[in-house]
Amino acid sequence: MQNAEPGCGQWKVSLRPLKQFAAKLPTSALLREILLTEPDELDSREFLGRLPVWLQLSRRPEFFGLRY
């Protein structure tokens, strides 16, 4: 994480490693599609707000290459 501006108290989170991981997921995984459309950096508050959704999507069967 990098500080966006000195003294502003907000941090930027790089999504590049997460997007590299997402690119390796099965094309059927909704999480892959969503992560690859995200910007390369998010404000820390945005990141923390989206994280629960991403975690929920990572529990879906297609995340593991399974189809039901």
Please give the pLDDT value at position 46: 96
- Please give the residue range of the domain that contains residue 40: 2-64
Name the pTM for this structure: 0.76
Structure tokens at 30: 């909704």
Residues 47-58: pLDDT tens digits? 999 999 999 999
Amino acid identity of 28?
S
How many domains in the chain?
1
What number of CA atoms fall less than 13 Å from residue 61's CA on the CB side?
A: 3
- CA–CA gap between residue 20 and residue 34 (Å, rounded): 13
pLDDT less than 70: residues of the chain = 1-9, 67-68
DSSP-based three-state secondary structure for 65: coil
Give the residues across from 13 on adjacent strands.
42
